[in-house]
Amino acid sequence: MTSKPENIHPIFDRTLKRVDKQKMLNQNSVVIWLTGLSGSGKSTIAIELEKRLHERGVLTQLLDGDNVRAGINNNLGFKAEDRLENIRRIAEVSKLFVQCGVVTINSFVSPTNDVRELAKTIIGEKDYFEVYIKASVEACEKRDVKGLYAKARRGELPNFTGISAPFDVPLNPSCIIDTELSSIEVSVEHLLNKILPIIKEKNGKI
Protein backbone atom coordinates (compact mmCIF):
# COMPACT_ATOMS: atom_id res chain seq x y z
CA MET A 1 0.00 0.00 0.00
CA THR A 2 1.28 3.49 -0.84
CA SER A 3 2.06 5.67 2.21
CA LYS A 4 0.09 8.88 2.64
CA PRO A 5 2.15 12.05 2.06
CA GLU A 6 1.43 13.27 5.62
CA ASN A 7 3.15 10.13 6.94
CA ILE A 8 6.35 10.68 4.94
CA HIS A 9 9.04 12.75 6.63
CA PRO A 10 12.15 13.08 4.44
CA ILE A 11 15.39 13.68 6.34
CA PHE A 12 17.29 15.41 3.50
CA ASP A 13 18.10 18.44 5.67
CA ARG A 14 19.86 16.30 8.31
CA THR A 15 22.03 14.09 6.06
CA LEU A 16 25.60 14.70 4.91
CA LYS A 17 25.70 16.80 1.75
CA ARG A 18 26.84 15.90 -1.75
CA VAL A 19 29.60 18.47 -1.51
CA ASP A 20 31.06 16.64 1.52
CA LYS A 21 31.21 13.42 -0.51
CA GLN A 22 32.60 15.07 -3.64
CA LYS A 23 35.31 16.62 -1.51
CA MET A 24 36.23 13.24 -0.07
CA LEU A 25 36.41 11.74 -3.58
CA ASN A 26 38.08 14.80 -5.09
CA GLN A 27 35.69 14.83 -8.03
CA ASN A 28 32.49 16.45 -9.26
CA SER A 29 29.68 14.00 -9.93
CA VAL A 30 27.59 13.99 -13.08
CA VAL A 31 25.31 11.61 -14.96
CA ILE A 32 26.65 10.75 -18.41
CA TRP A 33 23.57 9.58 -20.29
CA LEU A 34 24.31 7.60 -23.46
CA THR A 35 21.35 7.32 -25.83
CA GLY A 36 21.20 5.57 -29.19
CA LEU A 37 19.87 2.61 -31.13
CA SER A 38 20.56 -0.95 -30.06
CA GLY A 39 24.00 -1.81 -31.46
CA SER A 40 25.04 1.82 -31.86
CA GLY A 41 27.90 1.30 -29.37
CA LYS A 42 26.56 2.55 -26.02
CA SER A 43 27.70 -0.38 -23.87
CA THR A 44 31.06 -0.63 -25.61
CA ILE A 45 31.77 3.05 -25.05
CA ALA A 46 30.36 3.02 -21.50
CA ILE A 47 32.63 0.11 -20.50
CA GLU A 48 35.75 1.71 -22.01
CA LEU A 49 34.93 5.12 -20.59
CA GLU A 50 34.49 3.65 -17.11
CA LYS A 51 37.88 1.91 -17.36
CA ARG A 52 39.59 5.10 -18.47
CA LEU A 53 38.01 7.13 -15.65
CA HIS A 54 38.89 4.44 -13.11
CA GLU A 55 42.55 4.62 -14.21
CA ARG A 56 42.42 8.33 -13.40
CA GLY A 57 41.09 7.69 -9.90
CA VAL A 58 37.47 8.63 -10.63
CA LEU A 59 34.80 6.67 -8.75
CA THR A 60 32.10 5.59 -11.21
CA GLN A 61 28.96 3.51 -11.47
CA LEU A 62 27.82 2.07 -14.77
CA LEU A 63 24.12 1.41 -15.28
CA ASP A 64 23.34 -0.59 -18.42
CA GLY A 65 20.02 -1.45 -20.06
CA ASP A 66 20.10 -5.22 -19.84
CA ASN A 67 21.60 -5.28 -16.32
CA VAL A 68 18.90 -3.00 -15.00
CA ARG A 69 16.16 -4.92 -16.78
CA ALA A 70 17.48 -8.14 -15.21
CA GLY A 71 17.29 -6.60 -11.74
CA ILE A 72 15.44 -3.58 -10.42
CA ASN A 73 13.28 -3.31 -13.56
CA ASN A 74 12.67 -7.01 -14.22
CA ASN A 75 8.92 -6.48 -14.06
CA LEU A 76 8.90 -4.02 -16.99
CA GLY A 77 8.42 -4.66 -20.72
CA PHE A 78 8.80 -2.46 -23.78
CA LYS A 79 5.41 -0.83 -24.20
CA ALA A 80 5.43 2.96 -23.93
CA GLU A 81 4.37 3.16 -20.26
CA ASP A 82 6.94 0.52 -19.24
CA ARG A 83 9.71 2.33 -21.12
CA LEU A 84 8.81 5.49 -19.24
CA GLU A 85 8.79 3.71 -15.86
CA ASN A 86 12.11 2.03 -16.78
CA ILE A 87 13.70 5.42 -17.35
CA ARG A 88 12.03 7.01 -14.31
CA ARG A 89 13.52 4.42 -11.96
CA ILE A 90 16.94 4.61 -13.63
CA ALA A 91 16.92 8.39 -13.32
CA GLU A 92 15.97 8.19 -9.64
CA VAL A 93 18.76 5.66 -9.01
CA SER A 94 21.23 7.87 -10.93
CA LYS A 95 20.21 10.81 -8.79
CA LEU A 96 21.11 8.84 -5.66
CA PHE A 97 24.56 8.07 -7.09
CA VAL A 98 25.15 11.66 -8.14
CA GLN A 99 24.18 12.86 -4.68
CA CYS A 100 26.80 10.45 -3.38
CA GLY A 101 29.49 12.09 -5.51
CA VAL A 102 29.75 9.20 -7.96
CA VAL A 103 30.16 9.72 -11.72
CA THR A 104 27.33 7.68 -13.21
CA ILE A 105 27.50 6.31 -16.75
CA ASN A 106 24.13 5.30 -18.13
CA SER A 107 23.76 3.20 -21.23
CA PHE A 108 20.12 3.02 -22.31
CA VAL A 109 18.40 3.23 -25.71
CA SER A 110 16.09 5.88 -24.16
CA PRO A 111 14.45 6.28 -27.57
CA THR A 112 12.17 9.29 -27.35
CA ASN A 113 12.50 12.94 -26.47
CA ASP A 114 9.84 12.36 -23.80
CA VAL A 115 11.82 9.73 -21.89
CA ARG A 116 15.07 11.71 -22.10
CA GLU A 117 13.26 14.84 -20.95
CA LEU A 118 11.90 12.90 -17.98
CA ALA A 119 15.41 11.70 -17.10
CA LYS A 120 16.78 15.23 -17.35
CA THR A 121 13.99 16.61 -15.18
CA ILE A 122 14.48 13.99 -12.45
CA ILE A 123 18.29 14.17 -12.44
CA GLY A 124 18.39 17.95 -12.84
CA GLU A 125 19.67 19.75 -15.93
CA LYS A 126 23.07 20.70 -14.48
CA ASP A 127 23.89 17.09 -13.58
CA TYR A 128 22.68 15.58 -16.86
CA PHE A 129 25.22 15.21 -19.69
CA GLU A 130 23.51 13.70 -22.71
CA VAL A 131 25.59 11.85 -25.29
CA TYR A 132 24.03 10.79 -28.57
CA ILE A 133 25.73 7.61 -29.78
CA LYS A 134 24.93 7.97 -33.44
CA ALA A 135 24.72 5.12 -35.94
CA SER A 136 22.13 4.46 -38.63
CA VAL A 137 19.61 1.65 -38.38
CA GLU A 138 21.37 0.08 -41.38
CA ALA A 139 24.76 0.07 -39.62
CA CYS A 140 23.30 -1.27 -36.36
CA GLU A 141 21.41 -3.93 -38.26
CA LYS A 142 24.57 -4.97 -40.08
CA ARG A 143 26.41 -5.28 -36.74
CA ASP A 144 23.41 -6.99 -35.12
CA VAL A 145 25.50 -7.73 -32.01
CA LYS A 146 22.72 -9.54 -30.17
CA GLY A 147 20.76 -10.88 -33.15
CA LEU A 148 17.86 -8.64 -32.18
CA TYR A 149 17.42 -6.93 -35.56
CA ALA A 150 17.02 -10.30 -37.27
CA LYS A 151 14.40 -11.25 -34.70
CA ALA A 152 12.63 -7.91 -35.10
CA ARG A 153 12.57 -8.32 -38.90
CA ARG A 154 11.01 -11.76 -38.43
CA GLY A 155 8.32 -10.09 -36.32
CA GLU A 156 9.46 -11.85 -33.15
CA LEU A 157 10.22 -8.62 -31.26
CA PRO A 158 7.34 -6.15 -31.20
CA ASN A 159 8.14 -2.51 -30.39
CA PHE A 160 11.77 -2.83 -31.42
CA THR A 161 13.39 0.61 -31.62
CA GLY A 162 14.39 1.58 -35.15
CA ILE A 163 12.29 -1.16 -36.76
CA SER A 164 8.81 -1.13 -35.24
CA ALA A 165 9.16 1.62 -32.61
CA PRO A 166 10.45 5.15 -33.05
CA PHE A 167 13.82 6.62 -32.16
CA ASP A 168 13.80 10.42 -31.91
CA VAL A 169 17.14 11.99 -32.77
CA PRO A 170 18.17 13.91 -29.60
CA LEU A 171 17.34 17.60 -29.89
CA ASN A 172 20.18 19.14 -27.96
CA PRO A 173 22.76 16.59 -26.77
CA SER A 174 25.90 17.74 -24.92
CA CYS A 175 27.99 15.54 -27.20
CA ILE A 176 27.49 13.49 -30.38
CA ILE A 177 29.61 10.44 -31.17
CA ASP A 178 29.23 8.94 -34.62
CA THR A 179 30.37 5.34 -34.32
CA GLU A 180 30.19 4.84 -38.09
CA LEU A 181 32.89 7.47 -38.49
CA SER A 182 35.07 7.01 -35.38
CA SER A 183 36.82 3.97 -33.97
CA ILE A 184 36.03 2.87 -30.41
CA GLU A 185 39.35 4.35 -29.26
CA VAL A 186 38.70 7.75 -30.85
CA SER A 187 35.08 7.81 -29.65
CA VAL A 188 36.08 7.20 -26.04
CA GLU A 189 38.95 9.71 -26.19
CA HIS A 190 36.58 12.36 -27.52
CA LEU A 191 34.07 11.77 -24.73
CA LEU A 192 36.80 11.64 -22.10
CA ASN A 193 38.09 15.03 -23.20
CA LYS A 194 34.62 16.51 -22.79
CA ILE A 195 33.88 14.92 -19.45
CA LEU A 196 37.18 15.15 -17.54
CA PRO A 197 37.11 18.94 -17.17
CA ILE A 198 33.63 18.68 -15.62
CA ILE A 199 34.67 15.95 -13.18
CA LYS A 200 37.96 17.49 -12.18
CA GLU A 201 36.98 21.15 -12.42
CA LYS A 202 37.90 23.03 -9.27
CA ASN A 203 34.63 24.63 -8.30
CA GLY A 204 35.81 26.17 -5.07
CA LYS A 205 34.18 23.41 -3.06
CA ILE A 206 36.67 20.67 -3.89
When asked if residue 106 is in the footprint of ligand ADP (CB under 6 A), the reply is no
Question: With respect to ligand ADP, which residue has the nearer C-beta, 21 or 64?
Answer: 64
Cβ–Cβ < 8 Å for 148, 38: yes
The number of residues in the chain equals 206
**Binding segment for ligand ADP among 10-18, 40-48, 95-103, 155-163 (CB under 6 A)?**
40-48
Contact positions with ligand ADP (CB under 6 A) in 130-149: 143, 145
Residue 182 in contact with ligand ADP, rule: CB under 6 A: yes
Check if 94 is active-site: no
Binding to ligand ADP by residue 38, rule CB under 6 A? yes
Report whether 178 contacts 134 (CB < 8 A). Answer: yes
* Residues contacting residue 165 through CB under 8 Å, at least 6 positions apart: 78, 111, 159
Please identify which residue in 42, 69, 95, 134 interacts with ligand ADP, judged by CB under 6 A.
42
Contacts of 104 (CB under 8 A, 6+ apart): 29, 30, 31, 32, 60, 61, 62, 63, 94, 97, 98
39 binds ligand ADP (CB under 6 A): yes
Query: Between 28 and 50, whose beta carbon lies closer to ligand ADP?
Result: 50
Q: Are 101 and 18 in contact (CB under 8 A)?
A: yes
Structural contact between residues 73 and 86, judged by C-beta atoms closer than 8 angstroms = yes
Distance separating alpha carbons of residues 9 and 29, to the nearest angstrom: 27
- Is residue 161 involved in binding ligand ADP (CB under 6 A)? no
User: Counting contacts by CB under 6 A, is residue 179 touching ligand ADP?
Assistant: yes
Candidates 110, 174, 183, 187; catalytic one: 110
153 belongs to the binding site for ligand ADP (CB under 6 A): no
75 binds ligand ADP (CB under 6 A): no
170 scored as a contact of ligand ADP (CB under 6 A): no
Q: Are 161 and 38 in contact (CB under 8 A)?
A: yes
Binding site for ligand ADP (CB under 6 A): 36, 38-45, 107, 143, 145, 179, 182-184, 187
Active site residues: 110
